[in-house]
Amino acid sequence: MNLGALFSSVNMASTLIPEWILLLGIVAIIIVPNLGKATFRLPVPGKAWRIPYFIGGKRFAFTSDPRLPSAIAAFTLFASFITALLSQMGEIGVTESCVAIRDGVARAGPEWCSDGSMILQIDAFSRLMGMIFTAALLLAVIANWDRLPATPHHRIALKTQRDEVVESRRLHRLLNNRRQVDFALLVLMVALGMSTVALSANLFMLFVGLELASMASYVLVSFNKETQIGPEAGVKYFIVGSVASAIGLYGISMLYIWNGDLSISSLRSSWADGPNGMATIGLGMMLVAFGFKVSAVPFHFATPDAYSGASGPVAGVLATASKAMGFVALMRVLIGITLADDGSEWTILIGVIAAITMTWGNLAALGSRNPKRMLAYSSVAHAGYILAGIAAIGALGPGEGSELIATAIIFHLAVLVTFKLGAFLVIALLECEGRGHELEHYHGLARRDPLIAISMMIFMLALAGVPPLAGFLSKLMMVSGIISSTVGDVAGSSLSETMDSLSWVFWLAILIFINSAISLFYYLRICVVMFYDETDRNLRLSRAPMIRIAIMFCTMGAIVFGFGILADVLASAAHDAALALFG
Amino acid sequence: MGEHSKSEWNLLLPVGLMIFFPVIRHLLEFDAMESAFLIVAVPLVIFPAILILGQLSKGEDWWKNQLKEGGIVALAGLAITLSLTVWLIIEFYMGNEKLSQFEDDAGVLSQGVIFDWIQFEIFDGATLLGTSTLSFGLWIDSVSLVVLFVAAFLCFLICWFAIGYMNTDPINEDRNHRFFAEFVLFSMGMFGMVLADSFLWLFIFWEIMGLCSYLLIGFYWEKPSAAAAAKKAFLTTRVGDVFLMVGLFMLYDLYHSLEFAVIFGDPTLGGAVHGVDLQWPLFFMFIGCVGKSAQFPLHVWLPDAMEGPTPVSALIHAATMVNAGLYLVARMFPLFSEPHFEGDLSDLAMLIAWIGGITACMAAFIAFVANDIKRVLAYSTMSQLAYIFTGLGAACWFANEGYHHLATVAFGASLFHLFNHAMAKGMLFMASGSVIHEMHHAHDHAHGHDDGDHHDFDPQDMRNMGGLASKMPVTSIAMMLGSMSIIGIPLIGGFWSKEGIVGQAWNVYAHGGEMILFPAILVLATAGMTGFYMSRMWFMTFAGKPKSDVVEHVHEDTQWIKTPLVVLSIVTAFSGFILACGNFVHWLAEPYHYEPFGELLAHPIDAILHELEHAFLPEENLLKIVGWTAILLSAGLGPFIAARMHGGRLADGEEATPLTNWLISYSGSVGHTDVGDLATGGFATALHNRLYIDDAYEWVISRTIMPLATICAWIDKNWVDGAIKGIESGSQSTSTWLRQFTTGRASDYLLMATVGMLVIVGILWGVA
């Protein structure tokens, strides 16, 4: 591969603008915080001639600011988001393009999209997913802007320190910028990995991107290394995750043995020729790897531990962006490869996993007293809903119904960023005072901070799928997609005949209903304790302006994507993405 | 306790400015019809505004003293609705060019669809028959205009009164905004019901009114009797409403629509609907009317509803909401007059007349012995509404039997009585409110502010009053004119309409409806009884010597209370005569065949003479006899007996105004009869106990529904709740069990994941 071609080709540059920006951000975040007054003393005896070379030494004032890395990361992610949005709208770059390797040289341009050697594919689906990833990470970075405490249970009492000097000194002691650099760097690597997964048209690229994102996220989970639970959670997450990845890689290798080519289009055409045992088992093994990423039962066990060990924003990223990445991979592989074959074996398998996952997640969440674990289990349940949608797509085959369900899945992944991440950010706000891991810490929150409590209530109701919030719309699209496409073709006149001829997918939709009803209990419990229970702690919440801003963004998102113009815009974008996914 | 309100005319300036609202609409080139929806929309906006503002600025000076805890806001909103209503009436009367495009033969203006509400598809088996839309629109004809005007006018005046009445009582402090908000919501319901263009919307607004009635009766919720009265009113009208709903379902089943345009456009639906089919739906709907208008046997809630604040009694339970039932019957009238249904619905019409006759007489009897001034008026309300039902029954009978002209006369007379009664009764209640208010204050004044305990003293009991004529001149005149209108003293207010109703009831008999004989006799007798109990109330309150020391301290309140009384006195005194001479009765039934006031303006003397001759010397002998009997009984015998029993001269040195002095002198000059034995007799005891009807209901309910309710409660508690609790504890223990798998050891997780993988691979191995 010719590195020069990578940078010199105009096509390549215009195709991958958001990813270039991420790469530049990573470079900048390595270099900029290290700029200082480093000098090299010329070896001239008796003279103190020094030549400054700026890397290292005593830092400049602006480079030693612990907020700088977050600023760089936030700017990078924002620029990446905006460029992705603009290129999707056709304002800059290209809307549809591909990158292919031909003769050892990477080439970019729309003309390569029909080529077998394509490795990256830029279309509405990958752009929208990339925007979801960057948006979630951007919110997490904003939330971490000025408060990444040394320990998650360490309280930074900004509000009592009115003196600016004292305040900034405290900040420096608690948050040195190296630590911030590490965090921001890892976040940007996660972003780059996720973008690669969204773009990949080749299982190998997909795996590389997946691992890039996963590795960085394992470190993010254990980032609070001073605590007991942080590293433990990270290590557990890493062990289970690496085993799952190994199994997935094994599956990929089986596919390679079977086909000799890992590009998805080639795999699809081979699959269409006829079933093959090795290919099926290879897909099954990949299902394990992706099942771990989306935390499907029985690969979800590390999820509650990881979420409760990680800081709030990181857990939020794991529950939204990381999970969305898993689903992107799942959809790329399962839908992309096997959809031509209507009613494949894996559809019932996924249906069963979906049913178990959503029920398990909801029931386990019911008894969790730790809101973070509760949200982790609820994220397991949400994975079950989405898996049910994927199973329905598999069972129904290509068509309008499947497109509708895929639209619902993509829409759900997008709006999940608003309310799931928002809920974790509220937890992050409580973590600023060293609390948030017990239900009791939420008692009387409405009296302590009404705005935050109302935001949390909106997140909870959106998670439960209460109209008119965003969570309702996504769930409605999913269920109505499944039901309308299964019931639509039922011809029986009597009820029993109708029931007999219903597709089994219909019952998944019913199960989604039942599980939504169960989930209301534990979502509303948070609301109840916030609004009705007394607390002995009457202090105001930490000031933490950046977290509050991020929470307000999420609140607005949960509302405006629920109904109205923006919901239509997002839904039509999701529909375009679904169409692109189906090719 | 409490200070008398000041005049504060300046506060009314913003209210006065609201009159320019229609002018602005007009300048913006909207016509009255296009603005009519605002009559409903304005109160709908003001209701939450008062509630929220009141909650936020409770106790602040500008809210309390400048806006009167929302009273001024409500009054301004009602001023807008009243001016819009007047504008609408003027345009309707002028029949101007722009409006005429809405007209059809029936003289109805309807503004098509304002918004679509619910759309659904009608299937027959699997085939789609079509879509049906529930939409909201306006339906304006002479009937709705009259009721709308009554409602808007009285809402405005009674709100004015309420500002003076409510804001001076310290128990109401900081919660008057609730009163005014509910008041405005009620007015929204009433306007909406009158303007609705389908039975569905009529029913929705009908229920909004029911809700407001419940809330306002229970305004003093801390008083157990008020809370019980609110519940009683709500539940009793609910019985009627359920029947009304059943009736509406049946009607929908017949017509596949509840819109007036569909049902009245072609009542036969192209021959598909027969008169016999309509009997039961209309019967069930009539039961709803009986409940709402407090007719026998669902009348029990109205006397108890007097627990609410007096402005509420004046507005809801005398002048407007109780007219809803009448309005609905009047709305059904086109079905009765459909030629194809001739004879099919006459039994139902007879039933309406019977219910009216029975209620009229029964309520008048109970009013004989009531001592609470508001309860007398409540029973009088029932009795007068019953008159209107009798009149409507007669009208429907005539219409259904094909006597078109007589039907018109009876229908017009009934609605005319609705108008007269609403004006007079609204005023009577306000006057009684004025008396109660002053008695209350005077008692506080006389017995000191500190005890605050007046359980032993009832300011509403007429046995504590007497001789108030000299203390409260305006109130006594208003009360006199109102009573005269209700009694039917010739030439004043209700005389014109009541004469018409009684006459037409007998006319039914003359045209072959023998069944009407009983209610016809009852309403004729009731005319005399009305004369007695209304006079009794006036004499007990205003004439004679004071019966308690409290009366000494009574003096009349400020303009807030007096202005509405004066306005309504003038209306009551003259409107009946003017409208009767202006051919109002015929215009009501057939607005496009008669031009109101045309004759009166062109040849005033002829028109007045013609009307007088028609009233006092009708051509038919039957009407002549009935008319004069009614006049003699109501204007002569009833007041005479009342004056002998309860009248008397004022105490020495007290001087009433010349307008009432003649009446007091008359009552003092007729001598005195003591009827002590009669007042304690068996019949009187039965009357005191409201003829045991309430007790009978309670007996039946305690033996049928209460045991059933106990069983249901037991089942709910033990079985239903048990099942729910079982599910809950089951889920919790399942949750605990499931979470045990999350052991916290990575090796366990790996084991689990490996098992999962093996299962997946194994299954795929099997199928592949």
pLDDT at position B402 over 80 = yes
Cβ of A363 and B749 within 8 Å? no
Q: pTM for the complete prediction?
A: 0.69
Residue in A235, A276, A366 closest to B732 by CB = A366
- Residue A150, pLDDT above cutoff 50: no
| pLDDT score for B103 | 45
- The pLDDT assigned to A361 comes to 93
Question: What pLDDT score does B455 carry?
Answer: 55
pLDDT tops 60 at residue A224:
yes
Half-sphere exposure of residue B488, counting CA atoms within 13 Å on the CB side?
33
pLDDT in tens, B358-371: 999 999 988 888 88
On the question of pLDDT at B100 being above 50, the answer is no
Q: What is the DSSP string of A359-426?
A: HHHHHHHHT--SHHHHHHHHHHHHHHHHHHHHHHHHHH-SSHHHHHHHHHHHHHHHHHHHHHHHHHHH
| pLDDT tens figures, B636-666 | 888 888 888 888 888 777 778 888 888 888 8
Residues in chain A: 583
Of B746, B752, B768, the CB nearest to A239: B746
Output the pLDDT for position A574.
93
Q: Measured between CA atoms, how close is B743 to chain A, in angstroms?
A: 9
pLDDT score at B288:
92
pLDDT given at position B3: 45
User: Which residues in B have their CB inside 8 Å of a CB on A?
Assistant: 126, 731-732, 734-736, 738-739, 741-742, 744, 746, 748-750, 752-757, 760-761, 763-765, 767-768
| Residue listed under structure tokens 């951000």 | A25
Q: Quick check: bond before B519 cis, omega within 30?
A: no
Phi, psi of A457 (to 5 degrees): -65, -40
Q: What is the pLDDT of residue A24?
A: 93
Rounded-to-integer distance, Cα A119 and Cα A104, Å:
12
What pLDDT score was predicted for residue A344? Answer: 62
Closest residue in B to A292 (Cα) is B753
pLDDT value at B729 more than 50: yes
Cβ contacts of A298 on chain B, cutoff 8 Å: 752-753, 755-756
At CA B329, angle to CA B323 and CA B330, rounded to 5?
85
Burial class (CB within 10 angstroms; exposed 0-12, middle 13-18, buried 19+) of B488: buried
Of B739, B746, B748, the CB nearest to A367: B739
CA distance B722 to chain A (A): 18
Residues of chain B found within 8 Å of residue A368, distances taken between Cβ atoms? 735, 739
* Pairing, β B109-110 against β A39-41: unpaired
* Of B94-103, B185-194, B331-340, B668-677, highest mean pLDDT: B185-194
Q: Is A281 on the interface with B (CB under 8 A)?
A: yes
CB contact burial A116-131 (16+ within 10 A = b; e otherwise):
ebbbbbbbbbbbbbbb
Taking an 8 Å cut-off on Cβ atoms, the answer to whether B746 and A235 are in contact is yes
Percent of chain B with pLDDT over 70: 91
Burial of residue A55, with CB atoms counted within 10 A of its CB: 0-12 exposed, 13-18 middle, 19 or more buried: exposed
Tell me the per-residue pLDDT of B114-138, one tens digit each, with 9 for 90 and over.
666 666 666 666 666 667 777 788 8
Q: What is the pLDDT of residues A491-544, one digit of tens each?
A: 555 666 666 667 788 888 899 999 998 899 999 999 999 999 888 877 777 777
The pLDDT tens digits for B180-217 are: 999 999 999 999 999 888 898 899 999 999 999 999 99
Q: What is the pLDDT of residues A388-447, one digit of tens each?
A: 999 888 888 778 888 889 999 999 999 999 999 999 999 988 887 777 888 888 998 888
Q: Is the pLDDT of residue B711 over 50?
A: yes
Q: What pLDDT shows up at residue B101? A: 42
DSSP string, B189-209: HHHHHHHBSBHHHHHHHHHHH
List the single residue in A236, A275, A283 with the smallest CB-CB distance to B749.
Answer: A236
Hey, what amino acid is at B707? P
pLDDT at A27 over 90: yes
User: In this complex, how many residue pairs, one in chain A and one in chain B, have their CB atoms less than 8 Å apart?
Assistant: 92
| High-pLDDT (> 90) share of chain A, % | 43
Assess A518–B contact: CB distance below 8 Å, yes or no: yes
Cβ <8 Å between A291 and B732: no
Say whether A460 sits in a helix, a strand or coil: helix
Separation of CA B109 from chain center: 24
Rounded CA-CA distance A272/A337 in Å is 9
More confident: B283 or B668: B283
Residue whose tokens read 């299964």? A486
* Backbone region of residue A93 per phi and psi (left: phi > 0; alpha: psi in -120 to 50; beta: other values): left
Judge: A243–B753 Cβ closer than 8 Å, yes or no: yes
Q: How confident is the model at residue A353 (pLDDT cuts 50, 70, 90)?
A: very high
Q: Do B742 and A301 touch (CB under 8 A)?
A: yes
Instruction: State chain B's mean pLDDT as an integer.
Output: 84
pLDDT for residue B606: 82
**What would the DSSP string read from start to end of B680-742?**
TSHHHHHHHTGGGHHHHHHHHHHHHHHHHHHHHHHHIIIIIHHHHHHHHHHHHHHHHHHHTT-
Task: With both helix axes pointing from N to C terminus, report the angle between B638-646 and B517-542 in degrees, rounded to the nearest 10.
Answer: 30
Report the distance separating Cα B457 and Cα B510, nearest Å.
Answer: 52
Window 454-513 of A, Cβ < 8 Å to B: 493
> Which residue in chain A has the smallest CA separation from B760?
A284
The answer to whether A346 contacts B732, with C-beta atoms less than 8 Å apart, is no
CB A123 within 8 A of CB A578: no
Work out the minimum CA distance from A291 to partner chain B, whole angstroms: 10
Question: Which chain B residues contact residue A521 at CB under 8 A?
Answer: 731
Quick: pLDDT tens for B563-617.
888 898 898 888 888 888 877 877 777 766 666 677 777 778 888 888 888 777 7
Distance, CA of A372 to CA of A221 (rounded, Å):
13
Mean of per-residue pLDDT scores for chain A: 85
Contact B764 A360 (CB under 8 A): no
Q: Which two tokens stand for residue A273?
A: 């020729």
DSSP structural state of residue B411: H
Q: Give the pLDDT confidence of B380-395 residue by residue, as tens digits.
A: 999 999 999 999 999 9
CA B284/CA B404 separation, integer angstroms: 25
How far is residue A69 from each of residues A73, A191, A259, A312, B12, measured CA to CA in Å? 6, 15, 45, 19, 65
**pLDDT digits over A50-62, tens only?**
888 888 888 887 8
The model's pLDDT over B462-512, given as tens digits with 9 standing for 90+, comes to 888 878 888 888 888 898 999 999 888 888 888 888 888 888 888 888 888
- What is the least distance, in Å, from the CA of A276 to any CA of chain B? 7
- Residue A270: exposure state from Cβ atoms within 10 A (0-12, 13-18, ≥19): middle
The DSSP string of B204-230 is HHHHHHHHHHHHHHGGGTTSHHHHHHH
Residue A127 has pLDDT above 50, yes or no: yes
CB contact under 8 A, B763 and A301: no
Residues B44, B34: Cα–Cα separation, whole Å: 17
The sign of the torsion formed by the CA atoms of A225, A231, A233, A234 equals positive
pLDDT at B369: 86
Q: Which long-range contacts (CB under 8 A, 24 or more apart) does A457-461 make?
A: A457/A526, A457/A527, A457/A530, A457/A531, A458/A419, A458/A422, A458/A555, A458/A558, A458/A559, A459/A419, A459/A420, A459/A422, A459/A423, A459/A426, A459/A554, A459/A555, A459/A558, A460/A423, A460/A523, A460/A524, A460/A526, A460/A527, A461/A523, A461/A527
Q: Where are the beta strands (DSSP E) in B457-598?
A: none
Reduced to 3 states, what is the DSSP secondary structure of residue B385? helix
Q: Per-residue pLDDT averaged across B304-315, rounded?
A: 87
CA B97 to chain centre: 35
Instruction: Tell me the CA distances in angstroms from A24 to A2, A72, A139, A219, B184, one per residue in order.
Output: 19, 10, 20, 22, 65
Q: Using an 8 Å Cβ cutoff, are A230 and A310 in contact?
A: yes
- Cβ–Cβ < 8 Å for B227, B218: yes
Alpha-carbon gap: A151 to the closest alpha carbon of chain B (Å): 21
The b/e string for A527-548 (b: 16+ C-beta within 10 A; e otherwise) is bebbbeeebeeeeebbbbebbb
For testing contact with chain A, the best of B731, B764, B765, B767 (most A CBs within 10 A): B764
**Looking at beta carbons, which pairs linking B696-705 to residues 24 or more positions away fall under 8 Å?**
B697/B300
What interface predicted TM-score (ipTM) does this complex get?
0.85
Facing residue for B738 by CB, picked from A247, A349, A364: A364
Whether residue B767 and residue A280 make contact (CB cut-off 8 A), yes or no, is yes
Nearest 10 degrees: Cα torsion B411, B414, B416, B420: 180
Task: Please tell me the distance in Å from A351's CA to the nearest CA on chain B.
Answer: 12
